[in-house]
Chains A and B, each alone.
Chain A
Amino acid sequence: MSAISYREALRLALDEALEKDERVFLMGEDVGKYGGTYAVSKGLLEKYGPERVRDTPLSELGFTGAGIGAALGGMRPIVEVMTVNFSLLALDQIVNTAALLRHMSGGQFSVPLVVRMATGAGRQLAAQHSHSLEGWYAHIPGIKIVAPATVEDARGMLAAALADPDPVLLFEYPALFETKGEVSGEKVDFASSKVRRQGSKVTIVTYGGCLPKAIKAAEEVDGEVIDLRVLRPLDLAPVIASVRKTRRAVVVDEGWRSGGLAAEVMARLMEQAFYELDAPVARVCSEEVPVPYAKHLEEAALPQPEKIVAAVKGLFA
Chain B
Amino acid sequence: MKVPPPPSGKVGLPAELSLQLLADMLRIRRMEEKCAELYGAGKIRGFLHLYIGEEAVAAGAMRALAPGDNVVATYREHGHALLRGVSMDRIMAEMYGKQEGCSRGRGGSMHLFDAATRFYGGNAIVGGGLPLAAGLALAAKLKQEPRVTACFFGEGAVAEGAFHESMNLAQLWQVPVAYLCENNLYAMGTALERSESQTDLCAKAASYGMATLKVDGMDVAAVHETALRAREYAAKKGPIFVEFQTYRFRAHSMFDPELYREKSEVEAWKERGPIHTFTARLKAQKQLTEERFLELDRAAQAEVEKAVAFAEAGTWEPAQNLTQDVMTPA
- Whether A141 lies near B103 (C-beta < 8 A) is no
CB within 8 Å for A102 and B169 given contacts A66-B135, A73-B139: no
With a cutoff of 8 Å between Cβ atoms, the chain A residues found around residue B132 in the complex are 65-66, 68-69, 72, 93, 97
The residue that B142 contacts in the complex, of A25, A68, A102, A144, with Cβ under 8 A, is A25
Contact of A69 among B103, B106, B113, B136 (CB under 8 A): B136
Number of B residues with CB within 8 Å of any CB on chain A? 44
Is there contact, CB below 8 Å, between B138 and A57? no
Size category of the binding interface on chain A: 35 or more
A104 contacts B by Cβ under 8 Å: yes
Identity of the chain B residue whose Cβ is nearest the Cβ of A79 in the assembled complex: B135
Q: A104 contacts B166, CB within 8 Å?
A: no
Partner of A62, one of B101, B121, B137, B165: B165
- Among residues of B, the one whose C-beta sits closest to the C-beta of A101 is B121
Q: How far is the CB of A106 from chain B (nearest CB, A)?
A: 3
Closest residue of chain A to B112, judged by CB?
A105
Q: Are A69 and B325 in contact (CB under 8 A)?
A: no
- The stretch from B14-22, B123-131, B238-246, B308-316 touching chain A is B123-131
Q: Quick check: is B104 within 8 A (CB to CB) of the other chain?
A: yes
Mark out the residues of chain A between 144 and 190 whose CB falls within 8 Å of any chain B CB in the assembled complex. 144, 165-166
Most chain B Cβ neighbours within 10 Å, of A56, A72, A73, A97: A73
Q: In the complex the two chains form, what is the Cα distance from A202 to B128 in whole Å?
A: 47
Total cross-chain contacts (CB, 8 A): 144
Determine if B107 is an interface residue (Cβ-Cβ < 8 Å). Answer: yes
A108 in contact with B162 given A65-B130, A69-B136 (CB within 8 Å): no
Does B328 have its Cβ within 8 Å of any Cβ on chain A?
yes
Q: A97-B123, A105-B121 are in contact. Are A68 and B106 (CB under 8 A)?
A: no
Q: Identify which of B70, B115, B328 gathers the most chain A CB atoms within 10 Å of its CB.
A: B328
Contacts of B111 in A (CB 8 A): 104-105
A109 touches B139 (CB 8 A): no
* Measured CA separation A127–B168 after assembly (Å): 30
From the candidates B103, B130, B165, B168, name the one contacting A106 in the complex (CB within 8 A).
B103
Q: Could you say which residues of chain B place their CB within 8 Å of the CB of A144?
A: 327
CB-CB nearest 3 A-B residue pairs: A69-B135, A65-B131, A73-B139
Residues on A facing B (Cβ under 8 Å): 25, 51, 56-57, 59, 61-75, 77, 92-93, 96-97, 101-110, 141-142, 144, 165-166
15 additional A-B residue pairs with CB within 8 Å, beyond A68-B131, A104-B106, A104-B107: A61-B162, A63-B131, A65-B132, A66-B135, A69-B135, A69-B139, A73-B137, A73-B138, A92-B128, A97-B132, A104-B121, A107-B324, A108-B113, A108-B115, A109-B115
What are 14 of the A-B contact pairs (CB < 8 Å)? A65-B128, A65-B132, A65-B166, A68-B131, A71-B139, A73-B140, A92-B162, A96-B125, A96-B128, A97-B132, A102-B328, A103-B326, A104-B122, A142-B327
